[in-house]
Amino acid sequence: MLRGRLLLILAFAIPVVMVSLVGIGGYVAFTKARVDPMTTADAIVVLGGEHDGREAYGISLAQQGVAKTVVLSDPYGSSDPTMKKYCAASTSQFEVLCIPPAPSTTRGEAIFTQNLARERGWNHVVVVTWRYHLPRARFIFDRCFDGTVTMRPTPRAYDFSLVEWEFTYLYQLAGFVKAGIQGTCDNSLND
């Protein structure tokens, strides 16, 4: 009887503790992720994801003189109206490049950034993405990009439920594991 009760308590307590650890750790690591101070750079690289204002933010940084080139990751396809609008936003002040990443991941985005940096002589980029994606994006760019990276979050609030936050944290943790297994971008595991 006592053993059965103990097993029941453990069966309940272990998942509660695990969910709590993921929630608290995720909040500290991802929701409150470190944001770098803004500096001028050679380019602004806007990572793909939701059309949540990130493209407009990247363009506004260029308008403020942060960089003369905005690179928009474009995994969406040619019929995406948001990308059509922002890919045509080049002015005499700055150029906009729209590049489909291969693979269509943060790693692919870091690879095309490194390739552009080599071609254009870039040493410093500003990377724009979700706030909770900053740590993983930083980890991947540190492995794939030879220059300096300034990480900036898309300025927005996230109206997620607790379940959505748990999923987001678990997704980011899984992405870290995948990036760790893949190693640097010089190896043969490119997806």
**23-61: pLDDT as tens digits:** 677 677 777 888 999 999 999 999 999 899 999 999 999
pLDDT in tens, 130-161: 999 999 999 999 999 999 999 999 999 888 88
The answer to the question of residue 26 being in a domain is no
Res 78: pLDDT: 84
Interatomic CA distance for residues 141 and 36, integer angstroms: 14
Instruction: Express each pLDDT in 68-110 by its tens digit.
Output: 999 999 999 889 999 999 999 999 999 999 999 999 999 999 9
In a domain, 175, yes or no: yes
174-183: b (≥16 Cβ within 10 Å) or e: ebeebbeebe
In a domain, 84, yes or no: yes
Q: Is residue 170 part of a domain?
A: yes
For residue 13, tell me if it sits in a domain. Answer: no
Residues 169, 170, 174, 180, Cα dihedral to 10°:
40
Residue 23 lies in a domain: no
pLDDT for 13 equals 64
Q: For position 32, what pLDDT does the model report? A: 81
Residue 191 has pLDDT above 60, yes or no: no
By residue range, what is the domain housing residue 66?
31-182
pTM of the model: 0.86
Q: Is residue 12 part of a domain?
A: no
Q: What is the CATH number of the domain that holds 122?
A: 3.40.50
69-73 vs 124-129, strand pairing mode:
unpaired
Residue 5 forms part of a structural domain: no
Cα–Cα distance for residue pair 35/133, rounded to 1 Å:
11
- Residues 90, 96: contact at Cβ < 8 Å? yes
Count structural domains, the chain.
1
